[in-house]
Amino acid sequence: MGSEKIWIGETHVAARTASDNHHNGESKTAIFIRSGNPEFVFHDGTDEVRISTGPGDYIFVPSFVPHRKEIRTQTIPLWW
């Protein structure tokens, strides 16, 4: 019992940055936000869907789901 191909790790990202649109292939991704307030942007087939997060939040990104991360704050880096 359990999951296969799951990514869990630690990442530090500077303030005022954004990733390109991407997916994580076969890997499922579990994220716990430790600092910062990133927005995760997904596409639902018609529109962009934005999920705002902050310290203490969890987010799960399924396999092959296109998304990007945006860190809009000017001084607080993202740590997950």
Confidence band of 57 (pLDDT split at 50, 70, 90)? very high
Q: How is residue 75 written in tokens?
A: 């001084």
- Does residue 46 belong to any structural domain of this protein? yes
- Does residue 75 belong to any structural domain of this protein? yes
Strand pairing category for 67-71 and 58-61: unpaired
Q: For 20-52, how does the pLDDT look when each residue is reduced to its tens digit (9 = 90+)?
A: 888 988 988 888 988 888 999 998 888 999 999
Give the integer Cα–Cα distance in Å for 16 and 8: 23
Task: Give the range of the structural domain holding residue 71, as residue numbers without chain letter.
Answer: 6-79
| Residue 52 or 17, more confident | 52
Q: Using an 8 Å Cβ cutoff, are 57 and 10 in contact?
A: no
Q: Give the amino acid at 53.
A: T
CATH number of residue 74's parent domain: 2.60.120.10
The pTM of the full predicted model, rounded to 2 decimals, is 0.79
Give the integer Cα–Cα distance in Å for 12 and 2: 27
- Does residue 1 belong to any structural domain of this protein? no
